[in-house]
Amino acid sequence: MAPSSGSALALAATLRALDDDALERLIRERQIGRQGIRDYFDLAEALLDRTSIQSALSRLDRPTLALLAAAGELAGSTGAPTLEQLRLTLDTPAPETEQRVARAFAAGLLGRESGRVVPWDAVVEQLRAWPSFGLPSGTELRSAPAPAALEPVSDADARFIDRGAAERAYGTVGIIFELVQALRDEPARRVSRGGLALPDARRLAAAAAVEVDELDVMLDLAERAGLVIAAPRAWTVADEAAAWLESPRLDRWRILAAAWRARLPEELRELLHQRAHAIWGDGLLDYLDWRYPAGRDWVRERVAIVLAGAEKLGIIGSQRPSTAGSALLGDGAEAAAAVLASHFPAEVDKVYLQHDLSIVAPGPLVPELDRRLRLVADIDARGLASSYRVTTASVTRALIAGETDDTLLEFLAGISLTGVPQPLEYLVRDTASHFGTLRVGPADVAEMRSVIRSTDRARTHQLLVDPNLSPLALRELDDGRLASRFTPDIVYWSLHDARYPVVAEDAAGRIVTLRRARVVGESEPVSDDTAAIVVARLRDSTGSVAESGDEGWISRQLELAAKNKVAVAVRVQMPDGTEQDFVLEPAAVAGGRVRARDRKSDLERTLPLASITAVEPAGD
């Protein structure tokens, strides 16, 4: 069924008067694609498509739907209603009535003209058809009561909830910390549907010690906090992540929780604030089903994401808000962090160094200590009492970063509760003595891109026969060096991953630090902004809003009226300079003229478009 031409004409004029930002918001909210949208009339018809209208109605709350239904009923009996008529019909305060009208107007579901609210015919028809789809009628939208009152959380439940919530909050901060660290080392590729590529998903899950199916909610929390970025081709780390990684664990939680609260969808923010001390559970879903009668699917999907994040952050437990969660919803993240502080274990600055080269932390380490310890040792096990392991490769990593054997041993002695075991001291000294003896740098040999040099000929022979390095196609040169046709970074990471104490150098022989190649460049262009493209096309189609009488605009109005066989009111400038109004039923527009039946005289008229100064939908 085609949309009413009168509505389409009026909506096109409304759209033309909007500023660019409002137009872009409308196009995004209504999910209008760019195909087939040449001008405001095409956009108006797309917005009045019944499928598009139903999608838009499904995202409106019950009070706004009730206003739309009431506006349609009043328009059918007494004409387009005023705000005061709507206020009296709905028995709502004037500011609330205005808010509902503004919400429906922003969604492209009604117009405003001369102090009156103009509901589009297609919207009215769709709402009238709702009962046949099992959806509430206009009367039910206004009168059906909300679900039962909220059930408060008892003190006994709160104490039980708080213990589990604090444990989850503590664990989630640690998991996101490891995810950010892993993404900083190497971005994670995204597949075409937006999910993680399986190899990268497994890598991140292993780094954070979680199941693969937990990654989505953790990445969502990190993205909300601005720590990671879902670029078109990969998950990457944001610049803000550096400061977050250096913060105490409680501050990390505060930032995550504040972002969760700030990014709550509009339809949930006020509702969850009301339920800051009440059970969520099925009661929450029942209320949302009532509040958004046509939005069950999208509402429940969005709620599931929000609740999953709340559960991980300890904001709720068993569908009940924790004490910290109640503080977060009621007073903000600072108040919530103050509540949670007593439940988080204290950070420590001492560790146990073991003879087997492992390091055990009896609690969460202070950020600066953890950062430096990760430089000299690999994380072995994560948890309240984490463990690390010192290896030749990890000591080499620290040496590349500028440490020496003396500074490393001094650091380890300063944080140890058990002194520095002899095997650990020997490993550090021995690695330092061989540091820089195996190097990868740019080639100075024809047809080769990198060379490996070592003072230990046995080591270079070992590289030649190592099957793990066979893809590098290493070739021994006359001077004992090894050459490869691959770039120095590829050769370096191949040796590093094979656990050789390798360093990278530049052409001058200076040791340099390499980072793994990023999957996407920071300058990679983002995907097209459909809304901005459509708005630019609209502006080009008819010129500025001030040019209300231009021939192209008038022609498209008359074409639309002819297409849908409805009457329009036109104003024509006569040869003597006077203006005359006609109510016409256009039949065709061609050759700079419109052929139409004059409703009043029942005669056919042919008028030049250049003489028509205004076109409006005709009244009944």
pLDDT of residue 155: 64
pLDDT of residue 5: 44
Spans of the chain below 50 pLDDT:
1-5, 519-527, 544-549
pLDDT of residue 523: 40
Q: How many residues does the chain have?
A: 620
- Evaluated on CA atoms 403, 407, 408, 411, the torsion sign reads negative
pLDDT of residue 296: 87
Distance CA 84, CA 100 (A): 13
pLDDT of residue 485: 92
Distance CA 286, CA 265 (A): 17
pLDDT of residue 524: 43
What residues have CB less than 8 Å from 441, skipping those under 6 apart?
450, 451, 453, 488, 504, 505, 506, 507, 509
User: pLDDT tens across 302-314, in order?
Assistant: 888 889 999 999 9
How far, CA to CA in Å, does 73 sit from each of 64, 129, 190, 336?
14, 13, 50, 48
Dig out the tokens for 574 from the structure: 């006569």
pLDDT of residue 496: 85
Rounded to two decimals, the pTM is 0.72
User: pLDDT tens across 138-189, in order?
Assistant: 999 998 888 876 677 666 667 788 888 989 999 999 999 999 999 988 888 8
Number of Cβ atoms within 10 Å of the Cβ of 362: 14
